[in-house]
């Protein structure tokens, strides 16, 4: 009598435990499949798009002159310092100030559907960077001070990530040099120096909307 229930229990347990085993293996397989699917498909949608972009641009480069694909786009230039337009071309303003200026520039490029020409370096004010600054002897030029107190943009920002939203090129890139030299050759269709012109006007007026390069540098309204 004492062993009977035990036997019947173990008899009952057997189908239960194999059922549990089955359920566990089904869920393990489905979790595995889900993991496999999600880990490959989610980044793939990003990488896939980026790869497609790269692919199409390399195809274009093969098909026609590389310069053509560069010149199919239009560009927005805001000066060689992040917050240069209008005011702080010589001084180095605080990071918050430069950040908001950069956002403003990126937003305008997005609005105008243009590639933003990003300064390749950003200055770090001594307030934020006491260690990195050389002691001023007073003899170095402003360019030397700039070099000593600035950082490469690509060391501060994930440019690839920015590019996913707003296309950017750096102002020390070959592309920029090609765009700039072409803009000079094209004359009026090449470059427009805009001052005090609203972005709406830049967008709707064909004089500006078709020009290869818009130079915002001189405009105090640009940020
Ligand atoms: C943009 O305009 C500023 C101010 O007029 C000028 O100093 C600068 O050389 C121009 N830059 C380009 C790339 O045209």
| Range scoring the smallest mean pLDDT among 7-16, 154-163, 211-220 | 7-16
Contact 78, 84 (CB under 8 A): yes
| CA 215-219-222 angle, 5° bins | 90
Atom nearest to 218 CA in ligand 1:
4
215, 219, 221, 222, best to mutate for ligand 1 pocket (most atoms within 8 Å of CB): 215
76, 79, 170, best to mutate for ligand 1 pocket (most atoms within 8 Å of CB): 79
Atom nearest to 195 CA in ligand 1:
5
Which helix (H) or strand (E) covers residue 168, if one does? Answer: strand 168-170
Specify the pTM.
0.65
| Residues having CB within 6 Å of any atom of ligand 1 | 77, 180, 191, 193, 215, 217-218
Residue nearest (by alpha carbon) to ligand 1 atom 5: 218
Mean pLDDT of the chain: 72
9: pLDDT strictly greater than 50: no
Tell me the C-alpha distance between 85 and 81, whole Å.
8
* Residue pLDDT, tens place only, 35-78: 544 444 333 344 444 444 443 444 444 445 566 678 889 999 98
- The CA 148 to ligand 1 mean position distance, Å, reads 24
Atom nearest to 191 CA in ligand 1:
14
* Residue pLDDT, tens place only, 169-222: 999 999 999 999 999 999 889 999 887 788 899 999 988 999 999 998 754 544
- The CA 215 to ligand 1 mean position distance, Å, reads 6
Q: What is the mean pLDDT of residues 127-150?
A: 63
Query: Which pLDDT belongs to residue 29?
Result: 55
- The CA 107 to ligand 1 mean position distance, Å, reads 20
Tell me the C-alpha distance between 119 and 192, whole Å.
19
Q: Which residues contact 54 (CB under 8 A, 6 or more apart)?
A: none
3-state secondary structure of 115: strand
Tell me the C-alpha distance between 34 and 28, whole Å.
10
Contact 215, 197 (CB under 8 A): no
Q: What is the mean pLDDT of residues 151-155?
A: 90
- The CA 35 to ligand 1 mean position distance, Å, reads 53
The band of 161, judged by pLDDT with boundaries at 50, 70 and 90, is: very high
| Token pair for 52 | 């497609």
Contact 128, 118 (CB under 8 A): no
Neighbours of 112 (CB within 10 A): 20
First-to-final CA distance of the chain: 91
């Amino acid at each position: 009598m004492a062993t009977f229930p035990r036997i019947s229990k173990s008899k009952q347990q057997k189908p239960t435990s194999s059922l549990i085993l089955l359920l566990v293996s089904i869920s393990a397989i489905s979790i595995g499949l889900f993991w496999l699917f999600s880990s490959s498909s989610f980044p793939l949608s990003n990488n896939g798009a980026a790869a497609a972009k790269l692919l199409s641009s390399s195809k274009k480069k093969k098909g026609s002159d590389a310069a053509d694909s560069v010149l199919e786009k239009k560009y927005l230039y805001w000066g060689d310092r992040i917050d240069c337009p209008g005011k702080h071309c010589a001084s180095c303003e605080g990071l918050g100030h430069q950040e908001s200026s950069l956002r403003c520039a990126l937003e305008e490029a997005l609005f105008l559907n243009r590639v933003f020409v990003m300064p390749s370096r950003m200055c770090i004010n001594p307030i934020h960077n006491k260690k990195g600054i050389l002691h001023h002897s007073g003899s170095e030029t402003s360019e030397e001070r700039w070099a000593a107190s600035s950082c490469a943009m690509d060391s501060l920002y994930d440019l690839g990530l920015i590019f996913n939203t707003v296309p950017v090129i750096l102002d020390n890139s070959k592309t920029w040099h090609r765009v700039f030299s072409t803009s000079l050759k094209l004359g009026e269709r090449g470059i427009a120096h805009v001052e005090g012109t609203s972005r709406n006007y830049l967008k709707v007026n064909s004089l500006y909307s078709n020009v290869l390069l818009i130079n915002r540098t001189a405009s105090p309204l640009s940020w």
